[in-house]
Structure formats: C-alpha cells, structure tokens
Amino acid sequence: MGLTKNFAFLVFCCQRYCSMDGEAFEISLLDGEEDRFGGTVVNLMEVESMTIGDFDSKLDVSLKAWKDQGKKGIWIKLPSELSSLVDTAIKKGFTYHHAENEYVMLTFWLPEPPSTLPCNASHRIGIGAFVLNKNGEMLVVQENSGYFKDKNVWKVPTGTIKEGESIWAGAVREVKEETDIDAEFVEVLSFMESHQAVWQRKTDIFFVCELEARTFEIQKQDSEIHAAKWMPVEEYVNQPYHNKEGNEMFKLIANICLKRSREKYTGFVLTTNSAKKSLYCSVDHANLLKETADQASTSLSD
C-alpha cells in the first residue's frame, strides 16, 4: 500500500557501450523512481512513443543496473499507446501485475523468491439495500437479466460499488437508479464473503445495508428492472426461493431483515465520514465515540 507515494529519489543514468566499429556510445537507462520497499517504478504514462528496439536495449541495461544496485521489485507502467512494448518486457521475464483501461502494470522480482510485491486488487464489493417505507414494507424488484431473470423471485435492489465509491453511497445510488426512490443510509446489517465469485478467482463481499425511504413513489428503471414494488417483509422472507437447498445464506439474510423490522438489531452505522475515509462501527457505541472523539481515550482511561 502506498507504494506509489513518497518516492525518494529519481534514478537516472547511462551505460557506456562500444558499437561494432569500436566507437563508444551510450544507452540511457529507463527513468525510474525508488519506492520505499527497495524497488524501482518506471512510469511511461507520459511517454508518447518509443520504438521496440529502443525499449529493448534500455531495458537490458536497466535490468543489469538494477540487479547491480540490489533492487527488489521493478514496476513498469505501460500506457495503451505503448502496447507494442508489452511483448518485449514479458519476454525478458516481466509478468503482468494488473491492468486498467488505459494501462498495464508489469513487474519483475529481481531477488530470490518469494516475491513480497503487494497483490493486485482482489475483491469486488456488492450491496443489497433493505429499504423500509413508513408502513414497514420493504422495496423489492425483479430483474430483466442475470441469474434471477424469469424466476419470479422478488429481491432487494442490489449492485456493485463503483471504483472510489463508499458502501453507503453505493447503496443509496443503486436504490435511486433502479426505483427512483430517495433513501437515507441507516446501517450495515450483515456482510457475506463469496470466494471465486468474480472471474472465478476474485472474492465478492456483499454488504446488506438498511436504508430509510424518503420518497415512496416507485419509478422503475426499464433497462434493468422488470418490476418493483413495496412488499410486507414476511412475504419477502417466505418466498419459496429462500427454502431451496443452497440458498441458506440468503434465507439468513432475509431473516436478519425480518428481525430488524421487528426489534432492535445492532448493526454497524457510519461513525465518521470524510471524502476519502468512512468508518463503520456498532450503533450502540457510535454516538458516544462521535461526540467525544477528542477526549474519548482520556475519559475512558480515567
């Protein structure tokens, strides 16, 4: 974490070579910045063009220099525009680390294994929204595509958290998108980890969020949603789907919603929230911590 922060030194130098006719010439190393784990990061995002031959020779002398310097992990960030260089790096021993639309990140662990390079993003986060109206009914939908299509199962609005989005905000957004209902985040009731759920290897964490409806007239989103309505919680829980083999966890989640609608259930509320950080903790303690954040440890220690 934080690998791309706090680069301490810029590494840049040349290596002197002799051409076939004996004339001395220099091949410059690839520009790299040290990370704080003893590695080097070569960021080519701002480089508009580089020939395969140029990259090939620079990478050779750079790898030699990095090994001599005792470097550990080498990172090369290649923009889509330089996709012609991917093959050269892979052939020299680099492996893919991760990729986003506009770039691919390649790595080379120079010392003996095992590599301690940080792993790629490993999880995807989903939400299910348990939205109650003033009559204690919950918001349910049927979807146009995917697993539940044509199964006549009423489900809670669900969705995937976008990059950089908070769980509470994603739940509010999905409810608005699918049903046009404005709702306020109340708490996280439960969460479920499902392994090998994404690309047959990534883990999905599904947060069940309770929301309180602020508007009540449903306007369903036609592209994704086949039907949407308010439904008594008992009716939702007692759908045959929840009693089928293999659906035990969904039944447990449904029962948590039922409990929450009838009695106190101690979920995790949003305690503090800033642009970049959100902390969720037990509703029983959230207020005290919030009100006395500055003095809490002192007063608790008295």
Report, in Å, the least distance between residue 3 CB and a copy of itself. Answer: 8
Report, in Å, the least distance between residue 249 CB and a copy of itself. Answer: 5
Say what the alpha-carbon torsion angle 226, 229, 235, 240 is, to the nearest 10 degrees: 0
Report, in Å, the least distance between residue 259 CB and a copy of itself. Answer: 6
The residue among 67 and 98 lying less far from a copy of itself, judged by its C-beta, is: 98
The residue among 13 and 300 lying less far from a copy of itself, judged by its C-beta, is: 300
248 is in an annotated binding site: no
Report, in Å, the least distance between residue 26 CB and a copy of itself. Answer: 28
DSSP letter string over 123-188?
EEEEEEEEEE-TTSEEEEEEESSSTTTTS---B--EEEPPTT--HHHHHHHHHHHHH---EEEEEE
The residue among 196 and 219 lying less far from a copy of itself, judged by its C-beta, is: 196
The residue among 205 and 218 lying less far from a copy of itself, judged by its C-beta, is: 205
Specify the DSSP element, H or E, that contains 99: strand 95-100
The helix/strand/coil state of 25 is strand
The residue among 91 and 214 lying less far from a copy of itself, judged by its C-beta, is: 91
Report, in Å, the least distance between residue 38 CB and a copy of itself. Answer: 8
174 is in an annotated binding site: yes
Residue 227: count of CB within 10 angstroms of its CB: 13
Binding-site annotation, residues for Mg(2+): 174, 178
Residue positions forming the annotated binding site? 174, 178
